[in-house]
A and B are shown apart, each in its own frame.
Chain A
Amino acid sequence: MEPTLWIAAALIGAGGVLALRQAWRKGSSGPRGVLILGGWTALAIAIALAARAGGFDVGAGIGVCAMMVFAYGVITAGVQIRSAKRRSPKPAADPLDASAGPRRPWRVAGRTLIAAVLAAVAGFTTAAAIAICLPAVPITRAMTAIYLLPILWGAAVAWALADDRLLRPTLALTLVSLASWGAIALKSLP
């Protein structure tokens, strides 16, 4: 039973990735909705079958990782080899180059401070609020908070570094920290 399920999962998963690739090849010239929907559905079925074959944790883990590696293989197989061209350097500044525009040192320092300090404080206080206020048993609350900490913190860093204004992330991250601290204080009331 298990080998059959593994083979079915592999074939359906491969079909799903290939369907998505077919949708990509059509570009914007034809109907792609069916291929995209079918591709993702096939991938979901393949992972479910792998979970059935190897146990939820192990099977789904292998299924998801195998899908990613197979997609790498499909991309490599479809590589477009181009001949090298000699071009003179483009003198104009690249609009997408973060280092190309004018920079004021105090803004860079401010942004770095917000990303390094305020984002960390907001991430930790929000995670602590989750660990204390989430309606679950203590260990589940704590583990949920630890797993969410890098996501909350990382998102705050990304935003702090992206926002052109300094005041907006400063205020927002401070408010988030205060709100989290307030939630903890309310929960801690006797």
Chain B
Amino acid sequence: MNIPWRLYPFVRVTIAFMLGILLERFAPDLLIYFLPLSLIVLFFLVYKDYFTNKNDMSYPAYAGVMIIIFFFFFGYIRSALNIPTLDNKHYSHFAEKYDSGIGIIQEIPIIRTSLRTEIELTHLCKDNNCIEVNQKAIIYFKKEDQKAINYKPGDKIYFNSKLTLVNKTTNPFAFDFHAYLWNRGITHQTYVWHNFNHFLIDQNNLGFLNQIALNARGAFLNVFNKYLKDPDQNAIASAMILGYRNMVSEDMYKAFSDSGSVHILAVSGMHLGILAFILVRIFDKIKSKNKIVIHIKIIAIIFLLWFFALITGAAPAIIRAAIMFTFILYGKYTKKLYNSYNILAFCSILMLAYDPYLLFQASFQFSFLAMLSLSYFQERISLWYIPENKVLAGIWEYVTAALAAQILVVPFTIYFFHKFPVYFIISGVVSVWLSTIALYAGLLVMLLEFILPSINVVIVPVFKLFLNLFIYSVKWVKALPLASIDGLTLNNFEFFISAVFLISFMFYWHEKNFKYLLATLLSSLIFIFSLTYRLHIANHQKFALVYDVNKSSIIDFFDGRNVFYFQLDSLKENQLNFINYNNRIFHFTKTIKNIDYAENFRSDRILKNENIIQFKNVNFAFIFDEKYKCMDYSKINYFFILSNAPIDECSKFKSNSTFILDKSNSIENVNDWKNFALKHKINFIDIRKTGSYKIEI
């Protein structure tokens, strides 16, 4: 294939660098080989380039391969050195011995079932002795804790509670919180359940720049608070313009994600692009060929962009955009040639060299894929139709951008979020256009408030109007029939195949070569085959699954695509999302029915009578109810022992049956049952040790 790789030196080395990071994740023990090898390669490069005869014509070919190999090693080494616990001062070395600590709050507490925020630990203490530590941890407070809810980034607090390891989840397909935190360098968490166990020591402890950005954001948020009385308007404006998402309600957030416009809500590269566009327009009014003036112009624009990036919380997408625009603007004003793929690759190598684990973070992946997709496909799609009408041309540009940005992102959306926003083109045109105007108006309102507040009387109504229209458009798209297809799944293999499909499709488009079309078609065929096979398996699956839930019990009985579940306590929906939602959709669940403990029922293959469930030819019994003591359980294969059920000495158990004790039992109770089981030659499963447990039927 004739991609002019010569033109993209950075793309080549970045791909090698990323592969190195990936390899480290799957084979972490190769550092001792790679370190000397990379040194030899580097020595060869430097020696050849600077100290030998320069007329060796074959040298560039060697060097090209060597450099790519070096970057592969380099990615590996960088990733291997990034393991957070390598640091002598990392708190994980001391978390066992110390039971309180001091740290700096990094973000505004997020309200979920409890309050959660990141804290940069500075010291761990016990009694009166403290030890210096570093790195971030997660801290939880009670939802009702009024003291904690008012913490701001930069607040130094003392907390009196022990750090505990974040456990790996054992539920199949569940969101891996452990890996998510590990990728952000976090290994421990702490729960502070009483408001007298933590207090503020000091304020404004962030770095100089961050503190300024934070104060600026506070001032701008106050402007919105002043003018926007409607909570939804205020929340959306704060999120969209200042990256402050705490006020956005869950319903609102869902509306945005279902309509495919969540990228507007999170301040992203698009916002920075819009800002850069208007800044360039303004600064281009100053016409001068003086080099100093031009440089001042560049510096001013870049400074403003970076300041905006800092204010909005400096997410990976924003940093990526800020680096990109820095180079693009520099290239534009100094009239140097630049290439967007090279700049994109250079950005990613800079960011990955700073933190290689970014490669595994969804925000980084989405940002780069969307950008890559946009720069590759938009140009090509826009050639399909060239409108003469100016209005049509404007609309066409938005359509092509929305379409182009989605192409490479789709498999990722389905893989991570299991849904697909159907009307992304509509929201990509209407909502993006409305939000752009709202964004300009909002920026103007913020600016004028500090220069000429009296003009805001005119601007604010316009701002409100477009904000309202924007919110309305999002809600409208969400309310359209079939706005969001939920419950989509891809397994790892299908994800890989869809990547093959997209890449071969890109190649085909580029070269119009038949073999790429063949690859495209073949990969889609494999994809469909894999999906059908999984569906076939799902239609005939029969198993029970005991989930690993803290202090509670959930048991799913999968009978084909129907799920019958037993649940001890009613857990909240967002908690369940982390436990069994993914697993159910991966098994193509069609209907979900609750097994009512107080009621008997029967379906095709499942029969429930009192505390006994018969599933095909396997019998289960629930043991937690005092009503069913002294029973004859000689035909039961599995016993679910739940919520600290007392030992039942007088019932008759079959030997070789199995006790399953989940986390709704205390450790002491589990031990009692274990001894009982050993005495009676009954098998024993402790969910605390084994994790979630599957019983094939």
Report whether chain A binds chain B.
no
List residues of chain B with CB under 8 Å of any chain A CB: none
Enumerate chain A interface residues (CB-CB to B < 8 A).
Answer: none
